[in-house]
Amino acid sequence: MYYKNIIFDFGNVVGTFQADSILKHFCSSKEDFTLLSSILFRNWQALDAGAIDYEENAQIAISLLPDRLKENGRAFFAEWIRYVMPLPKTWDFIRELKERNAGIYLLSNAPTKFAEEAPNVFEILKLFDGIVFSAPLKMAKPDPEIYRHLFAAFHLEPKDCFFIDDTEKNILAGRALGMDGIVFTQDIDAVKKAVGF
């Protein structure tokens, strides 16, 4: 291993986060899907950044839906986390890292609801040495401050860390602070090669 610590994003790295695949569980027609998508996800970046309150946003979004879809909206905001699916190869890799005593950390953009519920929903997170979700801190990747928060909170040297994220701008932000990384394409072998596993 070239690095002491491996930092994971969550969405599309540890678990799936595809708006379309989640939303299909909450509607049955293409027309409803399009309408729900345009309203339910419209403030997601602000939710990730903690710039707006989760429940307040949910109430506003539901109010914008036609009556026939209001219950769909309520169900979505209450239950969408159930449809974030584990990525088994990443979970296996995390367990292998743990066996090698590597430091394992999470740095993920996520709304407050996910930050509160994920540690109890996804068993793999119990193996992590530290977890940073964006919304509770009211900052989000690629803001350098959230990376600095991770390093300071867990006494990490950026040069000792390797970051795995599915978004290039987030990797570049880490590199600007001295942390190497890779854009994750669900190719665990490429990640293992990059970290000298």
Sign, Cα dihedral of 85, 16, 60, 25: negative
Please compute Rg for the chain using Cα positions: 18
Per-residue pLDDT of 115-154, as tens digits, reads 999 999 999 999 999 999 999 999 999 999 999 999 999 9
Per-residue pLDDT of 95-123, as tens digits, reads 999 999 999 999 999 999 999 999 999 99
The amino acid that residue 138 corresponds to is K
CA 118 vs. chain centroid, Å, equals 10
Superfamily of domain 5-16+84-195: HAD superfamily/HAD-like (3.40.50.1000)
Among 20-24, 67-71, 78-82, the least confident range: 20-24
* 159: number of Cβ within 10 Å: 12
Task: With cut-offs at 50, 70 and 90, classify the pLDDT of residue 166.
Answer: very high
The pTM is what?
Answer: 0.95
The full set of domain ranges for the chain reads 5-16+84-195, 19-83
Res 100: pLDDT? 96
